Chain A
Amino acid sequence: MLKEVKILSPTGHLGFTPLEKGSFLLGVSKEPDYIVADSGSADIGPFYLGADKPCSPEMWQKHDLELILKTSRELDIPMIIGSASDTGTNRGVDRFVRIIKEIAKENNLHFNLAYIYSQQDKNKIRQILNEVRIEGIDGFEDLTPQILDRTNTIVAVMGPEPIIHALDNGADVIIAGRSSDSSIFAAPLIWEGLSKATAFYAGKVLECASFCAEPFMGKESVIGYVKEGEVIVEPMHPKQRCTVASVASHSMYERVDPYYERVPGGILDMSECVYEQIDHRRTRVTGFKFIESELKIKLEGAGKVGERCICIVGFRDPYLIRHIDKVIEWSKKKVEERYSDKSYQIYYHLYGINGVMKDLEPIKNPSPHEICLIVECVAETAEEAKEIATLAARNTFYARLPDIKGTAGTAAMMSDEAILTKPAYEWMINHLVPVSDPLELFEIHFEEV
């Protein structure tokens, strides 16, 4: 009989909101062989990586880590956490290691800990760039030293190999830096002797936990029963079902191509997958393949663009709303007159017109009865950002329109206040670097707790 490995996936982003305990404990009662959870994402925008800050409160992270750690120790099975603390930077790994040790101390737990750094030194990447091409993906130009100069934080996205190395060395608890979502699931399966096709497909379907089931629920556990060539998924929430439709449609979630998925070292080919409903709540998938390719590791990096400030203004006069372009033109002109020697970016977000969809908005002549304008300014210093945003907002109040009736002010100030927000960051690096050794960009540490 083929060997079966059971993996419990409790959450698609550990700590983002706390995981649901009920379905997690039901999953635990199935006696899984591994508990695996991803804790990071590029979806949250470039700020957190660039500024190297968590986006999840520590209390929620600890809640999830505590449940998983205690359970994995009780069952004596390994736990694997990827992309620690949202960013997968060294800060994230260090924070999770600290929390894990706190929980261990509070509960008198003992185990072998492995933690894996994936943050990259800018100078090291600069040296690599001297020798090889670092190709941009998804519309990014190839990497240049200038782009590196503008980048604050870089992480490499690990494949399964560093985690396999940790398992080889007897790790019970693995805290990984930035990792590919499916790789943290694929690692223990490859380590158990399953093929990359099976391992990566299982990772693909399990990585977002309850998102592969219906009806839509977040933060509920699912379990994968994995045998060579076959993955069966079952939701742990009693009201969820894994159907052919929910599992198949998950393979297109958040990706460009539902048939092919690029993973470190190859491509997962799902074009001939067969989905079968084996009972009311479980779906079996077979037919996945793996195409080996040259090993390239993805780099992600974000850099600071400037300080950022916003002002909130409203308009109600239909004449003003019809001529809002003129109002903005006036405001822009007044800013340019005074700050043309400064480097700044200014954006006018017009809610009620095209605030959400911008250039993609198909409705070109809306007739809202009121609109909200958010002026956003990014400049070198907070002072400048504040001044420019304020000048731009106040000048919507003084807009000069020929037939205006309301001559006491052409805008409603929500409060005459410029709100300093988090600084502005941008994704700078979304690139692939070829490597000869899958471990070479990663630093693996072991410790007995």
Chain B
Amino acid sequence: MAVKRLVELATTIRSKNAGVNSITFDIIFSNPDNYRMVKQSGALNRETIAQLFGIPDSRIISFVEFDPANAIKFTIRRLKPSGSPGESDIFGSQQYAPLLDLEIELNNIE
């Protein structure tokens, strides 16, 4: 059974504000096979995201598999709106790092 890290399979892994109170994450694959494999692996879903970022499911306001772009996209609610006192990432652009090393098990895949 092969295991690969997400960073080896995806072309783009990014995070960015979506409105002033949420951060959205885009994982885009240029290879449609990689996209399909990651989708089928079950490694990337609401549960694994909640676990990875240590947040309750209620903070994940959306999770979408976006076939036209071979992309997986999810959005996390901020605790306080962007730029409030105590802010550390106004644009939300450096929150994707934990996704890079996410392990994808490539079993049961033709």
Contact = CB atoms under 8 A, between A and B. Distances in A.
A249 B21 contact: no
A217 interface: no
Interface of A: 42-47, 137-140, 244-245, 248-249, 251-259, 273, 275, 305-306, 308, 345, 347, 349, 355-360, 362, 376, 378, 424-427, 430
Interface of B: 12, 16-22, 24, 26, 28, 30, 52-55, 61-62, 64, 66, 68-71, 73, 75-91, 94-95, 97-98
A426 B83 contact: yes
25 contacts: A42-B20, A45-B83, A45-B87, A46-B84, A138-B19, A138-B21, A244-B68, A249-B69, A251-B69, A252-B24, A252-B66, A252-B69, A254-B16, A256-B75, A259-B64, A306-B85, A345-B85, A345-B86, A356-B94, A358-B88, A359-B79, A360-B53, A378-B85, A424-B85, A427-B83
B78 to A, nearest CB: 8
Contacts of B94: 356-357
Contacts of A138: 19-22
A393 B84 CA distance: 21
B50 to A, nearest CB: 11
A128 to B, nearest CB: 21
Contacts of B87: 45
A254 B64 CA distance: 14
Contacts of A248: 66, 68-69, 71
Contacts of A360: 53-55, 76, 95, 98
B54 A362 contact: yes
A253 B16 contact: yes
Given A138-B20, A245-B69, A254-B16, A356 B88 contact: yes
B83 A249 contact: no
A137 B18 CA distance: 12
Nearest to A47: B83
Given A358-B88, A359-B79, A362-B98, A427 B20 contact: yes
Considering residues A137, A248, A376, which has the most beta carbons from chain B within 10 angstroms of its beta carbon? A248
